[in-house]
Chain A
Amino acid sequence: MVDIPVDTRLAARRPTRLEGLRALARSNIYFAIASIVVALFILSATFAPLVSPHPPLDQDMAAFMSPPLTENHMLGTDSFGRDLLARTIYGARYALAIGFGAVLIGALGGLIVGVAAGLSGGVTEWALMRFIDALLALPSLIMAIAFISILGQGVDKVILAVGVALIGPFSRTVRADVLQVKAQAFVEAAGLMGVKRLAIIWRHILPNVIFPLAVQATIRVSYAVLVSSGLSFLGIGVAPPTPDWGLMIAEGRSFVSFAPWIAGVPGTALAILLIALSIVGDGVREHFDPKLRKQG
């Protein structure tokens, strides 16, 4: 440890505004790059049939486990001779559809439970809060596994299982927001003016809760993608031969000693998407929540 003399500490503290500006610009560049990356993933997922060099399930009998940069297969093929680039591009469809779908379900469920808990009060609120506690006592992946064990495998079931597993965290933040809005003067004023309860909820409380919820949702997309690809990696999420990244990574795990690209291509795609999504999520949160700005 270097002993810091007092005067340099003062000097270091003074130009905070400049530093802050620079940090913001820097974070904006990260944010800009990350947004472009996410947009590219979304575009290639949407236009997968146009972008992809091959259909994702086509087998090339002449090229099993060929390494990247093989002729006709830029990123190589898997153990069934399927083109890894094609499967990874189609895999983006599943990753994003599952991620956004699950977050939508989680946010919607969280909105309902959270608003109910925030507005009800009394025994109902207490019971709902304990229910939320119980939901939060289980990690999302474990809860999703429990739901999958009942629902069975499949894309729609993964969306549902991960979505339901996200209800707990969402409902807790929604309830906190509801309590905050409920305490404000305009809500009380509306009540005193004789505005109906449902109208108050619809016109005053919901609009003030929806926006922070949307910010929360942006942050949790990457988490939903991570949990769902984890489920597929465990072999209990999306069923083969669907080109799901988690599944592809699991398939590649067996061949890691002689064909590391089989796991490497989808794994790198997943890692890049997750990092980009979390930068975008952090940026959105920082931008809209000044309270969080000072945390590094």
Chain B
Amino acid sequence: MLLFAAGKILQTLMVLLIVSAVSFTLLKLAPGDPIQIMLGTEYSPEAYTSLMKQLGLDRSMIEQYLRWLGSFVTGDWGVSYVSKAPIFQFAVVEALPVTLTLAASALALSVLIGVPLGVLAATRRGSIWDAATSVFTLTGTSFPSFYLGILLIWLFGVKFGLFPTMGFVAPWEDFWAGVSHLTLPAITLSIYFLAMIVRMTRANLIEVLEQPYIAAARARGEPNWRVVWVHGLRNILMPLVTILGLQLGALLQGAVLTETVFSLPGVGQMITNAVLNREYGIVQAGVMITACLFITTNLIVDLAYPYLDPRLRPR
């Protein structure tokens, strides 16, 4: 068990290392000379060479990479050219919690609604419910989220005036204001996952309900709700968690678009603004944050398997 976990963690670190190397190379490929940008009007050949030495840009690529990696790991991510603020503070302390709150609420929303809907569709196959959910999963998985967000703003923000349509209020500072600010963005981001979860729950549950152990449970006279919600759900947990881990990338990229629709100051908006301002250091920070989140979540999913399914526990 420990060996298994250690192997997984090592593999994850390996991938992270490669991602960091690729994103470092990308940064080096970026057009524009960072030293010239930093010097601006104070440019002179002497200042140029001294700053180059000071920043270590005269050393070999590998040496630069290792130095960058070292400072990255210790949280020294450099300073933004535009706001002069340290990037780590900006990206991790300010932007990341916004994105995580948004993503977590969307995920919670889609699991809490999606699983019961999927169960309903699976247990009443061929009913109107089933037909309705199949139309919903089809449109939900392919509808462009940013357009959905605008539709929601128009309907609930403008027509009914029910929810605020812009900005972020931290729910841990002002709970109700936070929730009302998060409602529309969370719905926007959750639709794709909701559809995905309904589809996965339905397909897997149909398969599970045909298994012999379900027939055995029924034969023992267990009530239907127990057969479906206990024996059935327990056995679709694995594929569900797997798909959620793999789809986390979609959640993160959906968050980028949703943040722009609702003007939420999260990682997505940070990256977009950085691209427009040509702040490659921040783009790189955003890329690394996304990759870390995605890889770590999948590591957790991998490590959670033995707990979700006792049959997978190494003996």
Do A and B form a real pair?
A: yes
Is B272 an interface position by the 8 A CB rule?
yes
Q: Are A249's CB and B146's CB within 8 A?
A: yes
Query: Can you list 25 A-B contacts with CB-CB less than 8 angstroms, sorted by A residue number?
Result: A3-B224, A19-B126, A130-B18, A133-B15, A133-B18, A134-B19, A137-B291, A139-B290, A140-B249, A141-B257, A146-B26, A146-B283, A148-B275, A149-B278, A150-B31, A234-B257, A234-B272, A235-B276, A236-B276, A249-B146, A274-B142, A275-B138, A275-B139, A278-B138, A279-B138
Known contacts A134-B15, A145-B271; A230 and B276 CB within 8 A of each other: no
Q: Which of B261-314 contact A (CB under 8 A)?
A: 261, 271-272, 274-276, 278, 280, 283-284, 286-287, 290-291, 294-295
**Cβ < 8 Å to B, chain A residues 127-149:** 130-131, 133-134, 137-143, 145-149
Question: Does B138 contact A296, Cβ atoms closer than 8 Å?
Answer: no
| Residue pair B23, A234 in contact (C-beta under 8 Å) | no
Q: Is A62 engaged at the interface, CB distance under 8 Å to the other chain? A: no
Is A123 an interface residue, CB under 8 A from the partner? no
Given A270-B147, A278-B138, A296-B199, 13 other A-B residues pairs in contact with their CB atoms under 8 A: A4-B224, A19-B126, A138-B294, A141-B253, A141-B256, A145-B275, A149-B283, A233-B146, A236-B275, A253-B261, A271-B142, A271-B143, A274-B142
Contacts of A271 in B (CB 8 A): 142-144, 147
Interface residue stretch chosen among A80-88, A179-187, A256-264: A256-264
Query: Which chain A residues border B291 with CB–CB below 8 Å?
Result: 137-138
Enumerate chain B residues within 8 angstroms of A140, measured Cβ to Cβ: 249, 253
| Contact indicator B203/A150 (Cβ below 8 Å) | no
Residues of chain A whose beta carbon lies under 8 Å from any beta carbon of chain B:
1-4, 6, 12, 19, 130-131, 133-134, 137-143, 145-150, 152, 222, 226-227, 229-230, 233-236, 246, 249, 252-253, 256-257, 260, 263-264, 267-268, 270-271, 274-275, 277-279, 294-296
| Interface residue? B153 (CB, 8 A) | yes
- Asked, given contacts A142-B286, A142-B287, A149-B30, whether A236 binds B272 with beta carbons under 8 Å apart, the answer is yes
Q: Tell me how many residue pairs across A and B have CB atoms closer than 8 Å.
A: 151
A147 to B23, CA, bound (A): 10
Is B143 touching A274 in the complex (CB atoms < 8 A)?
yes
Q: How far is the CB of A152 from chain B (nearest CB, A)?
A: 8
For residue A95, give the distance in angstroms from its CB to the closest CB of chain B: 11
Q: Which residues of A contact B224 (CB under 8 A)?
A: 1-4
Closest B residue, CB atoms, query A257: B158
Knowing A150-B29, A236-B276, the reply to whether A1 touches B294 (Cβ < 8 A) is no
Q: Mark B68-87, 1 if CB is under 8 A from A, else 0.
A: 00000000000000000000
Q: Is the CB of B15 within 8 A of A130?
A: yes
Residues of B within 8 A of A148 (CB): 275
Contact of A229 among B15, B22, B144, B252 (CB under 8 A): B144
Shortest CB-to-CB span from B161 to chain A, Å, is 10
Nearest-CB residue, chain B, relative to A138:
B291
Residue of B nearest to A260 (CB): B154
A260–B22 Cα distance when bound, in Å, is: 42
Chain B hits for A142, CB < 8 A: 252-253, 256, 271, 286-287, 290
Interface size class of B (residues with CB under 8 A): 35 or more
State the CA gap A83–B290 with chains docked (Å): 39
B225 near A: Cβ within 8 Å? yes
B228 at the interface (CB under 8 A from A): yes
Main secondary structure of the interface of B (DSSP, over half): helix
Q: How far, in whole Å, are A295 and B202 apart by their CA atoms in the complex?
A: 9
Given known contacts A137-B291, A138-B249, A271-B143, is B283 in contact with A256 (CB within 8 Å)?
Answer: no
Q: In the complex, how many angstroms separate the beta carbon of B145 from the nearest chain A beta carbon?
A: 8
Asked if B223 CB lies within 8 Å of chain A CBs, one says yes
Cβ-defined partner of B252 (8 Å) among A4, A130, A139, A275: A139
Contacts of A227 in B (CB 8 A): 253
Asked if B134 CB lies within 8 Å of chain A CBs, one says: yes
Q: Whole-angstrom distance between the alpha carbons of A149 and B275 in the complex?
A: 5
> Chain B, 234-254, contact with A by CB distance < 8 Å: what is the 0/1 string?
000000000000000110110
A296 to B30, CA, bound (A): 45
Smallest Cβ-Cβ distance to B290: which chain A residue: A142
B150 within 8 A of A: yes
- Tell me the bound Cα distance from A19 to B130 in angstroms: 14
Complex Cα–Cα for A131 and B278 (A)? 26
CA distance A130 to B21 in the complex (A): 12
Complex Cα spacing A277 to B30, Å: 35
Q: Does B123 contact A (CB under 8 A)?
A: yes
Contact A249 B19 (CB under 8 A): no
* Of B142, B151, B153, most A-chain CB atoms within 10 Å: B142
Which residues of B (146-176) have their CB < 8 Å from a CB of A? 146-147, 150-151, 153-154, 157-158
Q: Complex: how many Å from CA A4 to CA B30?
A: 63
Contact of B153 among A149, A233, A256 (CB under 8 A): A256
CB-nearest residue of chain A relative to B267? A142
The answer to whether the Cβ of B110 comes within 8 Å of any Cβ in the partner chain is no
Residues of A within 8 A of B30 (CB): 149-150
A142 to B138, CA, bound (A): 25
**What mask results when residues 184 to 202 of chain B are scored 1 for a CB within 8 Å of chain A, else 0?**
0000000000000001001
How far does the Cβ of A254 sit from chain B's closest Cβ, in whole Å? 10
Q: Please measure, in the bound complex, the distance between the C-alpha atom of A142 and the C-alpha atom of B250, giving whole angstroms.
A: 10
B218, A139: Cβ atoms closer than 8 Å: no
Q: Is A296 touching B134 in the complex (CB atoms < 8 A)?
A: yes
Closest to B269 in A: A234
B150 and A146: CB pair below 8 A? no
Inter-chain contacts of B286 with A (CB < 8 A):
142, 145
Interface residues of B in 1-33 (CB under 8 A from A): 14-16, 18-19, 22-23, 26, 29-31
